[in-house]
Amino acid sequence: MKTMKLKPGKSLVKTASLLILASSLLLSACGGGSGGTASGSGGGKDGGEPTSITIQTLNYATEFIDNTNPLWKELEKRTNTKLNITWLSPSTAEEKINVMLASGDLPEVTFVESMQNPQLQKMLKQGVFWDLTPFLKDYPNLNREELKEMWEITKVDGKNMVIPRYYPSYGGGVFPMIRKDWLDALGLETPKTLDEFYNVLKAFKEKDPNGNGQADEIPYAANPGALAYIYNIFNETQGGWKLEPDNTLSPIITSDASREAMLWIKKAYDDGLFPKDFAIMKFSQVMDTMRSAKAGVGGMSMNHAWVTGQPVKEVDPKADLMPLAYLENANGVKYTPSGSPYYGVYLIPKKVPEAKVKKILEFFDYGYSVEGNEMLTYGLEGVHYKVENGKKVATPQAAIDKTGDGNLNNMIHLVSDDMAISAVGMPDEVYQRNVEIVTERKTVKVPNPSAELYSEAYNKYYPEISKKVEDMRVMVITGKEPIEAYDQLIETIKNDPKMAEITEEMTKAYQEKYLK
Amino acid sequence: MKELETVQIEPKNRGASRKASTSGKSKTKWGRLWADVARDKYLYVLALPGLIFFIIFKYVPITNLVIAFQEYSPYFGVLGSPWVGFEHFIRFFSNNDFWMLLRNTLAISFLSLIFFFPAPIILALMLNEVRSSLYKRTIQSLVYIPHFLSWVLIYGLTYLMFSQSEGLVNKWFMSMNWETVDILSNPNYFWAMLTAQSIWKEVGWGTIIFLAAIAGVDPQLYEAAVMDGAGRFRRMWHVTLPAMRNVIMILLILRLGTILDTGFEQIYLMMNAPVTQVAEVFDTYVYRVGIRQGEFSYSTAIGLFKSIVGVIMVVTANRLARRYGQESLY
């Protein structure tokens, strides 16, 4: 019986499948059409119907808010919009953005984490997005003094194709956060140089800073990724490239200074200054170690003095996390992390009509106005915070409506250093110390020649090359491979025509951008 | 050959019955087709959701495989992207890492074939011999549980067991004044650890289909075997195993089709710098290069290569199975 049924069925399957295929195409076509009209109808005039705007953006909060949130509603009311926001969680954002760019189905306000995203670069050249340059002058808040630099450096061929998302230059980035109470317990000074830093770590291991009589301290909670800045200290530059005196760029990955940096880390590893599982720990496990209050140093941005400092305090009430201002290498050159004054960019695809582009810019103009900007982070005065002695004190309602770090604040950051150095509930003395430290950090200028450069060869080949080197570094540090194996690998990379191509393109990109 | 014969014979009977039901109507191909549809309409309606599923989610996406031969750009789409021929394949095969990826993938796959594939069969046989049905059912339920844990959890458990600072095993070694063992970042143990994890997670779940096959065995066969003086192992060998043979063969053939799939999650989670050289497989490579760097054409080319190898393996295994007179897929 079974075989009987199959035979005539086959030709039927064909026809049936064709029918179904045709109908499914029809269906999807209808779906697309209706969606288009729905979003198109929103482009009304000021004061009229609210404009609907679809936005997709990053959100670091643990709980995402939706359009039932009072602050969201208030924002819609004040900007006369109907917001349709898709939040991306940071752990999956990169893939989602890549897939979204590949599908070509872009929201009206598209967020991309890095200007160097290869697909974005291709699309910018193909003219997928609006050139915003002619419109920008009409929006005073977008031209605020504090924002000038970010607009300037995100220009593509002299045109403003993107709305950068502000983030302060200083205060962010992975850099040592040290247990001040441990330093005090051992009577040690805050380290200023790499050598002093090393001695502090060694003291943390040997001199029982937590005073429980056991050598259970982990001097430095780190995995290989969290120590990337050590290579930057040795190479005296930010990022992966160093500017040479003849205005060319050289990759620090193959430099002799990087070899020394690796050996510095190896020595620390051999002295037991890192966790035993150093090589295999994931970022979250490093943070867990830190929060367990057993570690003396962790690598993090300055706001973690409280974000992580508070959970540590819960375990050990004496705990006090303090960011270091800078570290000096053997040549006496200071290093502190700093970056471009933005993180991530928004783009408006050409399919959005011009009237709506203006409306979207108006929305961002409000978001970057002092009033709108503070509202997105702190909420509404009297509801979410009260002003006491010139300071904003959060009310219980703030936690309920999830103001502060994350959600709406992540869509448009607060235009202030506080974005990187402050946190909800941070005590005054910690905040004041952070302000002092960030002021000190700002005196340290470390060149960052490669920050805004794009090279196709770099995107295609560099990730694989750097992964090989990073893996090899870990092998050498943990003693699984001899230093000769590392030297051999570096020699191969130096002779690799791909690496030469990358270096050439990067140099060209640098000279075109800055030396024209 | 036996199957072919039945196919040839049966249309005759059908033709007769069809004549009776469609007499007087057109004898064109389409006419007969509609007559068939009309007769079995409910069966076709029943099959419709399945058909739709396969067409929309399996067959339509296949057409997008052409991007393996393009320099795919989202802006131009599949229809407008420039063609580059076999460029992506050449880049893949001439990559220094290709042989490493192939070696790791095959090693992990074959270890799983040799050690993981037989494990549920053995467990099913053992469970079948348990007399107390309460005990048997309890054990069955317990061994299913790991299947429902995600790989992330299993990674966490493995870390808690074997890491050098927190791991229970190493803590125990330390309390005995033995040296701690580096299991998680040791290239020599990596493949064995993956296989052991897979067995731990899936062995119980894998027994279900074999136990079903065993349940279908006619008890008379066992009774006859007992009468003939067969002991436990004889019965297992001559009655239970032959009853499972068809299922084992089919699963084995299907398994060979996915020989280049090693499972992404497990390896991605367990991978760390020291073991990269033995851990990087096609799946993780596609993720790293294709998804994260946005090289969709390149990763599609790799995926296509994997699928072609899979098809070749299935067809070959099926041929071999038929040649040696075993149950085959088609």
- Both A289 and A359 in a single domain? no
- Both A234 and A313 in a single domain? yes
- Enumerate residue ranges in chain B where pLDDT < 50: 1-25
- Both A233 and A293 in a single domain? yes
CB A37 within 8 A of CB B79: no
Q: Which residues touch B288 (CB under 8 Å, ≥6 apart)?
A: A463, A467
- Both A58 and A204 in a single domain? no
- Both A183 and A282 in a single domain? yes
CATH top-level class of B87-323: mainly alpha
* CA distance to A227, A322, A371, A388, per residue, from A205 (Å): 19, 19, 49, 43
- Both A331 and A460 in a single domain? yes
The phi and psi torsions of A178 (rounded to 5 degrees) equal -115, 150
Side chain identity at A108, as an amino acid letter? E
Domain assignment present for residue A30? The answer is no
Query: With contacts defined as CB-CB under 8 Å, which chain A residues touch B273?
Result: 224, 279-280, 470-471, 473-475
Q: Is the pLDDT of residue A210 over 90?
A: no
Residue A39, Cα to own-chain centre: how many angstroms?
A: 31
Q: Is the pLDDT of residue A361 over 90?
A: yes
pLDDT given for residue A9 in this prediction: 43
pLDDT in tens, B52-110: 999 999 899 888 889 899 888 776 778 888 899 899 999 899 888 899 999 999 999 99
- Average pLDDT over all residues of chain A: 86
User: Which residues, numbered 102 to 131 in chain A, qualify as contacts with chain B under a Cβ-Cβ cut-off of 8 Å?
Assistant: 102-104, 117-119, 122-123, 126, 128
A216 in B contact zone (CB under 8 Å): no
pLDDT given for residue A47 in this prediction: 58
- Cα–Cα dist B8/A83, whole Å: 65
pLDDT in tens, A282-291: 888 888 899 9
Where exactly are the structural domains of chain B?
A: 24-67, 87-323
CATH number, domain containing residue A136:
3.40.190.10
- Cα–Cα dist B144/B302, whole Å: 34
Beta bridge partners of A250: A242
Cα pseudo-dihedral B131, B132, B134, B138, rounded to 10: -60
- Both A322 and A355 in a single domain? no
- Both A301 and A184 in a single domain? yes
Closest Cβ–Cβ partner in A11, A460, A464 for B33: A11
DSSP type of residue A350: T
Domain assignment present for residue A21? The answer is no
Domain assignment present for residue A267? The answer is yes
Domain assignment present for residue A429? The answer is no
Contact B11 A7 (CB under 8 A): yes
The phi and psi torsions of A51 (rounded to 5 degrees) equal -80, 130
- Cα–Cα dist A149/A494, whole Å: 36
Q: Catalogue the E-assigned strands of chain B.
A: none
Residue that terminates a domain, selected from A421, A454, A481: A421
Domain assignment present for residue A246? The answer is yes
- Structural domain boundaries, residue A273: 175-337+445-514
- Both A477 and A387 in a single domain? no
B242–chain A nearest CA distance, Å: 24
- Both A98 and A113 in a single domain? yes
Q: For A103-120, what is the mean pLDDT?
A: 88
- Cα–Cα dist B243/B225, whole Å: 14
- Both A318 and A460 in a single domain? yes
pLDDT in tens, A414-439: 998 888 898 878 888 999 999 999 99
The total domain count for chain A is 2
Report which secondary-structure segment, H or E, holds A86. Answer: strand A81-88
Q: Is the pLDDT of residue A139 over 90?
A: yes
Q: Which residues touch B188 (CB under 8 Å, ≥6 apart)?
A: none
Q: How many CB atoms within 10 Å of residue A186?
A: 16
- Both A121 and A234 in a single domain? no
- Cα–Cα dist A96/A99, whole Å: 5
Considering only alpha carbons, which residue of chain A is nearest residue B187? A480
Domain assignment present for residue A439? The answer is no
- Cα–Cα dist A505/A50, whole Å: 47
Q: Is the pLDDT of residue A31 over 60?
A: no
Count Cβ–Cβ pairs < 8 Å, chain A vs chain B.
Answer: 120
Q: How high is the ipTM of this complex? A: 0.73
Domain assignment present for residue A112? The answer is yes
Q: Is the pLDDT of residue A7 over 70?
A: no
* CA distance to A182, A222, B112, B174, per residue, from A285 (Å): 22, 9, 29, 22
pLDDT given for residue A92 in this prediction: 81
* Tokens (6 digits) for A130: 């609006």
pLDDT given for residue B27 in this prediction: 65
Query: With contacts defined as CB-CB under 8 Å, which chain A residues touch B70?
Result: none
Q: How do strand A175-179 and strand A321-323 relate by DSSP bridges?
A: antiparallel
